[in-house]
Structure 1
Amino acid sequence: MGSASRVAIVGVGEVGGAVAYNLTLNSMASELLLVDLDLSVRNAQIEDLCDVTYSTNSSTRVRPATYREAAQCDLVVITAASKHMLGQTTVDYTSRNTSMIREVMEAMKPFRADTVLLIVANPVDLLTSLAKEMSGLPPSQVIGTGTALDTYRLRGMAASRALVSPYTVDAFVVGHHGEHQVVVWSAATIGTIPIEDVKMLNAIDRSRIELICKHRSSQISLGKGSAPFGIASVAANLCCSVMLDKHEMYPVSHFQEEYGCCLSLPAVIGRKGILNTVPLSMNEGENAAVKSSGDLLKASVKSIQRDWW
């Protein structure tokens, strides 16, 4: 990394801490700046991560920062959010986290002109859409983790049933992360073979796989209280792609002119954020499902904007 490379993480609870650990372990930046309203948590994370640098010879310096300092970094990762508590309504959860992203954006502005924002907090597409509106940054510099983790899950489950490596599976989950996300089965392949032609997968229950992709994080959280490792590893991969200008392709949430909001489609990611959206062949039903998910999300964004402005 260059001598001036800096990454900030806003919100260093379980997910933010896991992202910070991964970035520190891999010396992904010269400086890692941590921001959190809970100063005791922030300071404890810094001390813990400093121990990582001592034991691994990491070249990353971990330190506390203000919101304004964070906004001047190369990359800002936003994981700050409230947990979705058992019995909490979706409306209440969404309201709390949209208010939180607004407060964070207001506290950070103005951003450095070439800063890239990575939104990890949920509901990720909605928060990414709002961050894009509030940050003042070009749309290409605002990214959400979107359906990237769901895509890895899909590939892993298909691979385990076909007895192959997940790296040989090319399949995507796209659209609005959550209940309305779409698995693009029609374009899925193992190697160069359409997934529909792989005999071992002829009898798989696609509906069950889709449900697992949607709900695995909730199931993990029921068992241990949270699910930070999977999403943190995805976020760290995206950070790496940005900071090292790797031009890798991920299904991430980014602005779609057609829908007027941010949702997930495959995109090439580098130092300037989204370099381009990659066209993905979908059948009529899949296209309709993505459009429907985009329309629902756009309506949610407009509703919040009416309340705010």
Structure 2
Amino acid sequence: MTRKIGIIGMGHVGQAVAQQIITNGYADDLVLIDKNEAKVGADALDFEDAMPNLTSHTNIIVNDYRALKDADVIISALGKIALTDNPDNDRFAELPHNREQVQAVAEAIKASGFNGILIPITNPVDVITALYQEATGLPKAHVIGTGTLLDSARMKRAVGKGLGVDPRSVSGYNLGEHGNSQFTAWSTVTVLDQPIKKLAQARNLDLDQINEDARMGGRYVMVGKHYTNYGVAAAAVRLANVVLNDAHEVLPVSNYREEYGTYLSYPAVVGRDGILEQLQLELTDEERYKLRRSADFIAEKIKESK
């Protein structure tokens, strides 16, 4: 079966997504779409020049929304904002610009007849995911934001460094908004087969500082190079592969939770048909409060964006 992925927006993030997909041979057909025709055409040619030295081949299609009709996955990586325009690392500073783009892109996606899984990366991702779902009319289970899949990875990186283990040996989740109201649900975090709070006491780990490192990880990268791309691209590609492979993997992604009336990040089983099952975590009272507060914040921002 042919695997087909579309990427909309070929800025720093879209490029990194496309590079990972092409280098690893994750798709047979890749549709690249960007308003800057010269740029996306140059990217396509550059990728084609790379293929003779790769172990797989990818067919590249440029700026043709009609080619998205039979795509399995579309990844929305549109959006651009400079660090100087957003000194407080507020993802909502991007909303006015990105909201207009999303409406136009959503209409084009809908017109193409696409009925696969839509994965928004575009910030503020929880609000943008909701806007995409409403504008395209796709089922809520088929529109999935990358959400705190990246924040959870940042938490695992910080915990892993603190304990001297590979971050893949750390399990657990950051929940809520992919933004300033997200938090590490420490009750879900285990490493070395032990609860993190037990290890933190024994090994002098500052969990508050690790939580802040996860929350502000993007800011640290932005200060150094004025954009982030590799971490979120890896999250998006992982999510796309889980869909393509019907892997039924549990991921902390932005999905619509009926009890909160909004999109937010909470672990769910993901497969070929999108969100297959939503988990119910045994959170502490404090974590439930933080999650409700984050959900209310997202819901209010979605309301304001309309």
After TM superposition, the score normalised by the length of structure 2 is: 0.93
Cross-structure match for 1:62: 60
Q: Secondary structure at the match of 1:258?
A: coil
Cross-structure match for 1:73: 71
Give yes or no for the alignment of 1:293 onto 2:294: yes
Count of aligned positions: 303
Query: CA separation in 1, counterparts of 2:82 and 2:287?
Result: 29
**Residue type of the partner of 2:151?**
D
User: CA separation of 1:206/1:65 partners in 2, compared to 1, >3 Å: closer, same or farther?
Assistant: same
Cross-structure match for 1:37: 35
Asked whether the 8 Å contact 2:69–2:115 carries over to 1, the reply is no
Query: CA separation in 2, counterparts of 1:21 and 1:32?
Result: 11
Cross-structure match for 1:27: 25
Give yes or no for the alignment of 1:182 onto 2:178: no
User: CA separation of 1:187/1:64 partners in 2, compared to 1, >3 Å: closer, same or farther?
Assistant: same
Query: 1:1-309 maps to which residues of 2 (within 5 A)?
Result: 2=1, 4-88=2-86, 92-110=93-111, 112=113, 114-198=115-199, 202-305=203-306
Query: CA separation in 1, counterparts of 2:144 and 2:165?
Result: 31
Asked whether the 8 Å contact 1:161–1:201 carries over to 2, the reply is no
User: CA separation of 1:113/1:20 partners in 2, compared to 1, >3 Å: closer, same or farther?
Assistant: closer
Query: CA separation in 2, counterparts of 1:224 and 1:65?
Result: 28
Q: Secondary structure at the match of 1:81?
A: coil
Query: CA separation in 2, counterparts of 1:115 and 1:63?
Result: 18
**Deviation of the 1:78 alpha carbon:** 0.3
Q: Gaps (5+ residues) in structure 2? A: none
After TM superposition, the score normalised by the length of structure 1 is: 0.92
**Deviation of the 1:164 alpha carbon:** 2.3
Query: CA separation in 2, counterparts of 1:278 and 1:205?
Result: 28
Q: Secondary structure at the match of 1:238?
A: helix
Q: Secondary structure at the match of 2:26?
A: coil
Provide the alpha-carbon RMSD of the alignment.
Answer: 1.8
- Which moved further from structure 2: 27-36 or 191-200? 191-200
Asked whether the 8 Å contact 2:102–2:128 carries over to 1, the reply is yes
**Deviation of the 1:167 alpha carbon:** 2.3
